[in-house]
Structure 1
Amino acid sequence: MAHEPIIALDPNWPVMSMAETERRLTAPGGKFEMETVTIGGVATRVWKNAPPSLRYLIEAARGHGERVFTIYEDERVTYEATWRAVTTLAAHLRALGIGPGDRVALAMRNLPEWPVAFFAATAIGAVMVPLNAWWTGAEMAYGLADSGARVLITDDERHHRLEDIYATIPSLEQVLVSRAVAPLTGIAAPLEGVIGTSSHWAALPDQPLPDAVIAPDDDATIFYTSGTTGAPKGALGTHRNMMSNILTGGYSGARSALRRGEMPPEPTPRVTLTVIPLFHVTACSAGMMGVIATGSTMIFMRKWDTVRAMEIIEREKVNVTGGVPTIAWQLIEHPDRGNYDLSSLESIAYGGAPSAPELVRRIHSELGALPGNGWGMTETMATVTHHGAEDYLNRPSSAGPPAPVVDLKIVAEDGVTELPIGEVGELWARGPMIVKGYWNKPEATATTFIDGWVRTGDLARLDEEGFCYIVDRAKDMIIRGGENIYSSEVENVLYAHPAVTDCALIGLPHRTLGEEPVAVVHLAPGARASEAELQAWVRERLAAFKTPVAIRFVPETLPRNANGKILKKDLQSLFADRIPATAS
């Protein structure tokens, strides 16, 4: 299928084909050399030079010494100080009896303590369970109970959501609370009692990590996702899954350089403004792993604020930011942008939400930065395809080509027939970043993970050079500013309201958020309920971002097909006033 450039590119670009670029970069003896290993009984191409484990990565990261690793408000923490906090907390976890395979949960906003907790657990072979910090207490309690977490590391805000629930989690033995503002009781104790505050980490003892033998395919993480039906599912990831993203990201940058006729530069430290939560694989795996490997700096914000972000970009000379398209739109369109020096920005990259081709152009033309995009999911530990620089400007509606260690195929509705180039079907992916399966859910695992492939549920097509185009989202899933909203979860809450007898949640296009959730409701005869009442009902039971932004009431039950499924596309016309003209 043809594509049209949206900016005037150098007429000599590209100077090298995708195939030749891959041949050169993956040549034997090179940084991006590949090899084939057996993972779960399946022969799989992997990055030969990827770090073998998270333990190896954090030990090597100590070599960055006094370089600043994390910045949060007025706190600046070096790699050396972080290392000392990691080893101190790891020793404490070992003293609590935590060892290989034990689950340690983490429920916290982006703070310097987040990576400390993450590596303290994974470096001793424990399985880290990052919980969505936006979840309600009940939602987080599900994750704690389902994972069987023995220890929870949390911040004060999440602690208050959970403190009345701790006793209902049979596996939970200890809770370490960061930045608590009130005395702690029961199984809760201050994290500072173990490692102190971030300003004191540099003075902690210099000690090695507790002994642990960790193989690349050992369990490392459980990140929770949600299917379109049922309870959230924990995607069981490995050390190899996490480490693969380091080479995948590096390869993408090297590919862009060769395509424009330049030698790929050596990795150099960058300053990254990280504005998406670390409990997402995008920020944790695709973002933080590369930051650490290159000795770069991560800046955290307590809450996104465009003016505050521009102040930080100017002061700290930020090179990279993004996360979701919303961030880029708000930077570009803020009326005070001209008052700030944003010239240090080299890249604005995002994933997790649809983006308009116009945004790709404006990132380059107005901010002077190169756009970046990619496709992945929790089940792929983030990056499968990666798009950037001139290739993205030239194919703004694509999610990019797969990494060389990845195989993609487009499969017909029969789940067997592989479709030819250009045809739309379900996207299947295979590679070293695909997780082992779903935690304690063998049936769901067997349905989704087949002979090393993951069935993504997304409809896509591939072009003649392997670039992937996602043409529709997974069924019934809405992505609002990078956050997944699963229709059935919200619909079940609406159905629980005594006045509701029929309902559907659908996604509407939104210029900056990608999509936003709206609902259509049919009330029981004689029953009354207002839009505000039902919105409050949902907000009290689910994270706020899942609440419908608008609700329409219909006098009849909702239209269904012969199989009894609601015809959601037929309902969009009820929200004609909310659909942007460019999306219709």
Structure 2
Amino acid sequence: MYGSKPWLQHYPEEIPAELEFRKEPVQQYLINAAKSFPEKTAIHFMGKEMTYKELYDEALSFAGYLQQIGISKGDRVAIMLANTPQSVISYFGVLMAGGIVVQTNPLYTERELEYQMKDSGAKAIITLDILYPRASKVMPQTNLQHIIVTAIKDYLPFPKNLVYPFIQKKQYGIVVNVKHEGNTHLFKEIVKIKPKKLVEYDFDFEEDVALLQYTGGTTGSPKGVMLTHRNLVANSSMCTAWLYKSKPGEESVLGIVPFFHVYGMTIIMILSVMQAYKMIILPKFDALITLKTIQKQRPTLFPGAPTIYIGLLNHPDLKKYDLSSIDSCLSGSAPLPVEVQEEFEAITGGKLVEGYGLTESSPVTHANFLWDRERIKGSIGVPWPNTEVRIVSIDDGEDMPVGEIGEIIIKGPQVMKGYWNRPEATEETIKDGWLYTGDLGYMDDKGYFYVVDRKKDMIIAGGFNVYPREIEEVLYEHPDVLEAVAAGIPDPYRGETVKAYVVLKEGSKISSDDLNQYARKYLAAYKAPRLYEFREELPKTAVGKILRRTLVEEEMRKIEEENKKHA
């Protein structure tokens, strides 16, 4: 049943069932773009533009400098940047030097950053000036040997580059002055250096790792997902095939989804370079700035997350702006509400469809069709080219009949090599070449797929994966906390938000504000609980396991009761 791939009957003739991939490293696509479209704008950033030739030249200089300070094949280099030209230059520069990129969330606390640097063994990190104190503090406890520092103002046009430091000081309350000396390096000085000929290394398209993308695990410990050059080239090529009406060298892509997130990295950054699209980059999502940018820059492609589309639709000045340039939007990171899809399409006149994937699959495995074919509401669509999918029983692993719910498992060239230094976790997740997603869903009689539940405990807040165990471990370290459990509860904007249920030790007088301040010291803002509820006891099984699902069900009943009152 699944082996016959019933979904292929819906493919338009422009999308092949199987793609052939050029066995080239990811960085080769920047070289290709610079040769074929040297004067084409590669990046627009807050009013300043770079051509593909300029982007390539700076990435080459950066790669040469990395080799000069000792980065060689297989060395890990962390990139802890918001969406900026530097993040693109760094990414391709690391790969050109032979290194492995470690994508690092700029929101990480010192605790989270130290863990990732230790686990990955990164030798260098590229980060913003305002994050330099954080990176330098964890350096002695890790293998980090070099810190490369840049600033938002470095790639802003005049006079924004002069004004921005004052804005930054007002917003963050700090000004960091860093000198280009010792093991601290300034990005803007590096890219001025004319590179010597790069040291070349043997290359294995199938096996060489390009990226370590960290994701939380069911155990709560973040794991480094090893994505090879083949994984990333395959998934970007699949996306190119899906966007068959888009033309190389002609499209403009709005880059709001963070590049440190696998979705933004593949579907915006790599895809754009592969197809020589113009990337219109914003360092963070601000609804008003985004509306102004769309009207002025006229992007045609707009990959995003539901929270981004919701934020735009709910802005009071939405109707003042012309969004008609937008032709295609692929939504990822979280389930897309049908009403959001319909309203956004009505406003823009373009197409907005939901996709599905996970970090371990580079990330996309399914999507609805953008053009010429039926789109089924509530469905994640059909598998992409070269991708096999089955629904199997969570009890015995046998294939489930059409319409029956089971675990979604996936096989394809986008499926990860494995988890970094975790062979046992890899064996638990990949069996006989099949990636066991932990997500429950089903396939209908047309070959369209549906997700009915996310991984058992994972919370998806604003498009970010949040794992309860990590939050709980932080809360348990507080001296006044006896028991704690974190759960995701419905939120109209973020999809889900984090709520913590806490039992305090006898005699404790701490408040939710106290706990909130404490948690934010050790957790990135998107992970920290937004809500706290103190209880005398928590529901448990007979063996003492806290029943998180029971708490979620209680919240759902409260919401239903509130909805009935207001109906």
Give the aligned partner of residue 223 of structure 1: 213
1:278 to 250, 259, 270: 259
Amino acid aligned to 2:549? K
| C-alpha distance in structure 2 between counterparts of 1:265 and 1:496, whole Å | 52
| C-alpha distance in structure 2 between counterparts of 1:562 and 1:366, whole Å | 53
Deviations 1:275-319 (A, max 9, x none): 121011101112212111221111222332111111110111122
Give the aligned partner of residue 363 of structure 2: 382
Give the aligned partner of residue 404 of structure 1: 385
| C-alpha distance in structure 2 between counterparts of 1:173 and 1:448, whole Å | 33
CA contact (8 A) 1:518 1:550 kept: yes
Give the aligned partner of residue 61 of structure 1: 33
Matched, 1:237 2:227: yes
Amino acid aligned to 1:569? R
Distance of aligned partners of 1:392 and 1:548 in 2 relative to their CA distance in 1, 3 Å threshold: farther
| C-alpha distance in structure 1 between counterparts of 2:56 and 2:501, whole Å | 51
| C-alpha distance in structure 1 between counterparts of 2:557 and 2:373, whole Å | 31
Give the aligned partner of residue 299 of structure 2: 318
Give the 3-state SS of the residue equivalent to 1:355 in structure 2.
coil
Give the 3-state SS of the residue equivalent to 1:379 in structure 2.
helix
| C-alpha distance in structure 1 between counterparts of 2:71 and 2:210, whole Å | 14
Amino acid aligned to 1:325? P
| C-alpha distance in structure 1 between counterparts of 2:304 and 2:100, whole Å | 25
Give the 3-state SS of the residue equivalent to 1:492 in structure 2.
helix
CA contact (8 A) 1:392 1:398 kept: no
| C-alpha distance in structure 1 between counterparts of 2:393 and 2:26, whole Å | 37
Give the aligned partner of residue 408 of structure 2: 427
Give the aligned partner of residue 534 of structure 1: 515
CA contact (8 A) 1:485 1:546 kept: yes
Give the aligned partner of residue 13 of structure 1: none
1:416 to 394, 397, 402: 397
Give the aligned partner of residue 545 of structure 2: 565
Percent identity between the aligned chains? 31
Give the aligned partner of residue 515 of structure 1: 496
1:191 to 187, 191, 216: 187
Distance of aligned partners of 1:304 and 1:87 in 2 relative to their CA distance in 1, 3 Å threshold: same
Deviations 1:404-435 (A, max 9, x none): 21111112123522212211111111100111
| C-alpha distance in structure 1 between counterparts of 2:494 and 2:555, whole Å | 20
CA contact (8 A) 1:33 1:48 kept: no
Distance of aligned partners of 1:117 and 1:415 in 2 relative to their CA distance in 1, 3 Å threshold: farther
Deviations 1:117-176 (A, max 9, x none): 11111123321111112111221121111111112122212222121221221x222211
| C-alpha distance in structure 2 between counterparts of 1:133 and 1:361, whole Å | 33
| C-alpha distance in structure 2 between counterparts of 1:167 and 1:187, whole Å | 12
| C-alpha distance in structure 2 between counterparts of 1:361 and 1:287, whole Å | 23
How far apart are 1:25 and its partner, in Å?
A: 4.6
Give the 3-state SS of the residue equivalent to 2:436 in structure 1.
strand
2:342 to 357, 361, 364: 361
Give the 3-state SS of the residue equivalent to 2:490 in structure 1.
strand
CA contact (8 A) 1:487 1:505 kept: yes
How far apart are 1:97 and its partner, in Å?
A: 2.7
CA contact (8 A) 1:108 1:158 kept: no
How far apart are 1:402 and its partner, in Å?
A: 0.6
CA contact (8 A) 1:372 1:392 kept: no
Amino acid aligned to 1:58? L
| C-alpha distance in structure 1 between counterparts of 2:563 and 2:338, whole Å | 15
Show structure 2 runs of 5+ residues with no match.
1-5, 152-174
How far apart are 1:95 and its partner, in Å?
A: 1.8
Give the 3-state SS of the residue equivalent to 2:27 in structure 1.
helix
CA contact (8 A) 1:275 1:300 kept: yes
Amino acid aligned to 2:261? H
| C-alpha distance in structure 1 between counterparts of 2:466 and 2:438, whole Å | 15
Deviations 1:435-471 (A, max 9, x none): 1111011111111111211111111111223222111
Amino acid aligned to 1:183? V
Give the aligned partner of residue 136 of structure 1: 109
CA contact (8 A) 2:82 2:284 kept: no
Amino acid aligned to 1:355? L
| C-alpha distance in structure 1 between counterparts of 2:446 and 2:421, whole Å | 39
CA contact (8 A) 2:325 2:348 kept: no
How far apart are 1:565 and its partner, in Å?
A: 2.9
Distance of aligned partners of 1:578 and 1:209 in 2 relative to their CA distance in 1, 3 Å threshold: farther
| C-alpha distance in structure 2 between counterparts of 1:266 and 1:313, whole Å | 19
Give the aligned partner of residue 39 of structure 1: none
Give the 3-state SS of the residue equivalent to 2:231 in structure 1.
helix
| C-alpha distance in structure 1 between counterparts of 2:23 and 2:300, whole Å | 25
Deviates more, 1:347-356 or 1:231-240: 347-356
| C-alpha distance in structure 1 between counterparts of 2:52 and 2:119, whole Å | 34
| C-alpha distance in structure 2 between counterparts of 1:71 and 1:548, whole Å | 35
2:60 to 87, 103, 106: 87
